[in-house]
Amino acid sequence: MTPTITAFERSPDRGRGLARDMRVRWALEEVGQPYDVRLVSFQAMKEPAHLTLHPFGQIPTYEEGDLALFESGAIVLHIAECHAGLLPEDAHARARAISWMFAALATVEPPIVELSMAALLERDKAWYGERLPGLRENVRKRLGELSRRLGDADWLDGGFSAGDLLMVSVLLRLRSSGILDEYANIANYVARGEARPAYRSAFAAQLAVFTAASKGE
Amino acid sequence: MTPTITAFERSPDRGRGLARDMRVRWALEEVGQPYDVRLVSFQAMKEPAHLTLHPFGQIPTYEEGDLALFESGAIVLHIAECHAGLLPEDAHARARAISWMFAALATVEPPIVELSMAALLERDKAWYGERLPGLRENVRKRLGELSRRLGDADWLDGGFSAGDLLMVSVLLRLRSSGILDEYANIANYVARGEARPAYRSAFAAQLAVFTAASKGE
């Protein structure tokens, strides 16, 4: 059965692939599972029909027959459990890859989002200049730790896994900050993720949505 | 094999059960799995031996024979997969419970931590009074959505699951803010979690660590 995911009708990142549907698209491409996309406007995201699918009124969601899921991490894990290719077969290696999935979303992403949100919402505030260095330092703390662990390996723990998929997705949100380039091995790690054919297909698909919406203006 | 988890030698929350080892203790108590605890000082958390276990130098970690895991969400999921009682047997209900696990850690917890950290680190700053209402509003946004979804149900989706365990754990961090009491059904939901025998055993165990450390002063 072909699953249906939701994505922004018009992504606020203007097609840079930073919205969270990208993570799910990438996972589906990695395992070769075709999917349908239903686009949702900002207004429709807060209406009852969508809130039934996603209690927090966000994208992406995932529908497959009777099953409806939300949270990109949970959806990627579900895809990884239903198909080969995103989690190791060995039980211990699989559990470790899941540690990296949670680390990406619960430990590495929050300071990155906090930095982005400050840039978006507090840039005009008197305190922005004073707060900014601390926000950047919080991100660097995590990236320094990640860089030490990664060392010269290609991926975080053995072969590419759903842990890498989420970690690269999270790190890509840092590109415009310039911080990524302070850690050569992390910048290369992110580039390896972006070079994967599945990433490129997913990226092209989300960009096509944004381009089509722009032409419709 | 008895697993070993790590916890703070002296928890910064002074035994209120808000450190992340509590989530793992609670899960282990729910499934009736005895465990050992190795206490770690703030200094030791940043040393190579601990960083091998936890790349971000935090607690908890989980060791079971050759397996070493980090991230409380991943550890709770591992426990739930190895024992009955924390995830439904039905595959769809299980996937939905995992959506709630990720929602707790990736969607609900970040604004709560941001509010706590501002109270801890920015209270003396000139901007604290101006930033505080927005931080509290970000938390209320999520709690309002959660409250609407929960309605008058006991738990988020059917019976108690690892999703509830993590959500209650995250919400408990709000108690001192007073925001929890603005949502009667959420306050009752949290109270139901705290009333579970497994929660109480876990709480007592972490409190005993803090009490023993205080007596040793």
pLDDT tens digits, one per residue of A166-211: 999 999 999 999 999 999 999 999 999 999 999 999 999 999 999 9
Which residues in chain A have their CB less than 8 angstroms from residue B67's CB?
92, 95-96
> What are A96-131's pLDDT values in tens digits?
999 999 999 999 999 999 999 999 999 999 899 999
Cα B15 from Cα A139, distance rounded (Å): 29
Q: How far is A215 from chain B (nearest CA, A)?
A: 33
Which residues in chain B have their CB less than 8 angstroms from residue A101's CB?
74
- What confidence tier does A16 reach under pLDDT thresholds 50, 70, 90? very high
- Say if residue A88's pLDDT is above 90: yes
Nearest by CB to A102, from B55, B105, B114: name it: B105
- Phi, psi (degrees; rounded to nearest 5) at A125: -80, 150
CA angle B116, A176, B133 (to 5 degrees): 25
> What are A160-176's pLDDT values in tens digits?
999 999 999 999 999 99
Domains delineated in chain B: 4-85+198-215 (3.40.30.10), 91-196 (1.20.1050.10)
Q: What is the dihedral of CA B77, A27, A157, B31, to 10 degrees?
A: 10
A1-16 burial: b if 16+ Cβ within 10 Å, else e: eebebbbbbbbeeebb
Beta strands in chain B (DSSP E): 4-8, 36-40, 61-64, 67-70
Encoded amino acid at B11, one letter: S
Q: How far is B216 from chain A (nearest CA, A)?
A: 32
A82-110 burial: b if 16+ Cβ within 10 Å, else e: eeebbbbeeeebbbbbbbbbbbbbbbbbb
Q: Kindly state the average pLDDT of the residues A38-51.
A: 96
- Say if residue A215's pLDDT is above 90: no
pLDDT attached to residue B215: 85
Q: Could you tell me which chain B residue has the CA closest to the CA of A125?
A: B127
Cα A182 from Cα A140, distance rounded (Å): 9
Residues on A contacting B at a C-beta cutoff of 8 Å: 51, 55-58, 66-75, 77-78, 92, 95-96, 98-99, 101-103, 105-107, 109-110, 113-114, 125-127, 130-131, 142, 145-146, 148-149
What's this model's pTM, rounded to 2 decimal places?
A: 0.97
pLDDT attached to residue A217: 63
Encoded amino acid at B177, one letter: S
pLDDT attached to residue B39: 97
Which residues in chain A have their CB less than 8 angstroms from residue B96's CB?
67-69
Which residues in chain A have their CB less than 8 angstroms from residue B127's CB?
125-127, 130-131
Contact A98 B126 (CB under 8 A): no
Residues on B contacting A at a C-beta cutoff of 8 Å: 51, 55-58, 66-75, 77-78, 92, 95-96, 98-99, 101-103, 105-107, 109-110, 113-114, 125-127, 130-131, 142, 145-146, 148-149
- Say if residue A49's pLDDT is above 80: yes
pLDDT attached to residue A214: 87
- List Cβ neighbours of A142 (8 Å cut-off, separation of 6 or more): A107, A108, A111, B56
pLDDT attached to residue A94: 98
Contact B67 A92 (CB under 8 A): yes
Q: How far is B188 from chain A (nearest CA, A)?
A: 19
Each of the 217 residues of chain B gets a pLDDT tens digit; together they read: 899 999 999 999 999 999 999 999 999 999 999 999 999 999 999 999 999 999 999 999 999 999 999 999 999 999 999 999 999 999 999 999 999 999 999 999 999 999 999 999 999 998 999 999 999 999 999 999 999 999 999 999 999 999 999 999 999 999 999 999 999 999 999 999 999 999 999 999 999 999 998 887 6
Which residues in chain B have their CB less than 8 angstroms from residue A58's CB?
107
- Token pair recorded at residue B49: 């031996």
Where does residue A192 rank: exposed (0-12), middle (13-18), buried (19+ CB within 10 A)? Answer: middle
